[in-house]
Copies of this chain bind each other. A is one copy, B any other.
Amino acid sequence: MPLQKAPRGTVMRDVAKLAGVSHQTVSRVLNEHPNVRPETRLRVLEAMRSLNYRRNLAARTLVTRRSNTLGIIGFETTLFGPASMLYGIESAAREAGYLVSIATVRNLERADVLSAVDRLAQHAVDGIIAIAPKTAVTSALMQAPTDLFCVAVGGAGDSESVPTVRMDNAEGACLATQHLLDLGHATVHHAAGPGDWPEAHERTEGWRRTLYAAGAVVPPVHPQWWDAASGYEQGRAMAADPAVTAIFCANDRIALGVLRALHEAGRKVPEEVSVVGFDDMPDSGFFLPPLTTVSQNFGELGRRSLALLLEHMNRPSDAETVDHVIVPPTLVHRASTAPPPPPR
């Protein structure tokens, strides 16, 4: 591949010459060093502007060993949740003066994650945030070069020694389940997410524990994937069972599939069956009927994770604490839940 060589632009030396100072003074102006006479400063700034000077960050990175770039390891970033976290991180990073580079992984195999870390490390990122719902990722992260700061966002709670920002999935599941129990439902069925994803697992566990604490029967689960098709499959089985009056879904997309299955079976929501989702996607309020759901603030999650990363980067290296920030979920009440129908 014959690549063209970009032409050389204006550099510090050029600015220095025009302003009648040394290159070092230009550097000082650029880095806001205090000891520069205001008058000199202005002259330099003027020269920079007239030459349209732009500092070469590669050279700067070479000597400072800091690139002002952060790496993000993403998975399934087309989904609303990950995409929102990405956005939250990027916004916060920009305000902190960082650019973010993204490395998505196809699957969550250890090798894939390691190669993503490697790619980011080669490009000299200062830190890595992994949008990393499976534990393979966090454990791979620990193999990262020791001079690289990492945090994980949105995965499970049991992550070993990588700082983590995450939602309290179990608590969210509890909120949803308890809400349905409080309405008078004898028990709550569960349309689960993929069992090997910690987030799905935690939601299932939160649901199970809540039922158990209430002395309710714990129905079996048949987890599949995160999408509406999976919800439709699970929902069909539940719709066929007249004992089912309340369903807690692992996310809103699954809930959409469940709603469709119930509709096809002729079971009215919420009159006959109540449904609760998880995520509060932007359009969940426009499902038929509008979905009661557990709200996750993905943007906040992203922002928090960046804050945690920066905090770690600026902390003296002997402080070996591992933080885990947990963001609480809230329940959004809409029209898809109601008391159970009277027994006939």
Point out residues on A near B: beta carbons under 8 Å.
Answer: 1-9, 54-59, 61-62, 64-69, 77-80, 83-84, 86-87, 90-91, 94, 99-104, 118-124, 126, 145, 147, 227-229, 231-232, 253, 256-257, 259-260, 263, 282-283, 285-288, 290, 313-314, 316-317
Structural contact, B9 and A147, CB atoms closer than 8 A: yes
The complex places the Cα of A91 from the Cα of B102 at a distance, in Å, of 10
Structural contact, A77 and B66, CB atoms closer than 8 A: no
Residue in A1, A9, A101 whose Cβ sees the most chain B Cβ within 10 Å:
A101
Q: How far is the CB of A316 from chain B (nearest CB, A)?
A: 8
Interface of A is mostly: mixed
Q: How far is the CB of A230 from chain B (nearest CB, A)?
A: 10
The complex places the Cα of A100 from the Cα of B65 at a distance, in Å, of 20
Tell me which residues across on chain B come within 8 A of A57, comparing CB atoms. 122-124
The complex places the Cα of A282 from the Cα of B227 at a distance, in Å, of 8
Structural contact, A101 and B282, CB atoms closer than 8 A: no
Structural contact, B65 and A62, CB atoms closer than 8 A: no
Tell me which residues across on chain B come within 8 A of A120, comparing CB atoms. 99
Closest B residue to A62 by beta carbon equals B58
The complex places the Cα of A103 from the Cα of B2 at a distance, in Å, of 28
Residue in A65, A232, A263 whose Cβ sees the most chain B Cβ within 10 Å:
A65
Q: How far is the CB of A88 from chain B (nearest CB, A)?
A: 9
Closest B residue to A8 by beta carbon equals B65
Structural contact, B288 and A288, CB atoms closer than 8 A: yes
Tell me which residues across on chain B come within 8 A of A285, comparing CB atoms. 228-229
Tell me which residues across on chain B come within 8 A of A286, comparing CB atoms. 228-229, 231-232, 256-257, 260
Structural contact, A100 and B99, CB atoms closer than 8 A: no
Q: How far is the CB of A69 from chain B (nearest CB, A)?
A: 7
Other-chain residue from B2, B59, B78, B101 in contact with A87 (beta carbon distance below 8 A) = B78
Structural contact, A80 and B77, CB atoms closer than 8 A: no
Structural contact, B314 and A2, CB atoms closer than 8 A: yes
The complex places the Cα of A229 from the Cα of B5 at a distance, in Å, of 50
Structural contact, B263 and A288, CB atoms closer than 8 A: yes
Structural contact, B260 and A288, CB atoms closer than 8 A: yes
Closest B residue to A316 by beta carbon equals B4
Q: A228-B285, A282-B228 are in contact. Are A4 and B313 (CB under 8 A)?
A: yes
Q: How far is the CB of A249 from chain B (nearest CB, A)?
A: 12
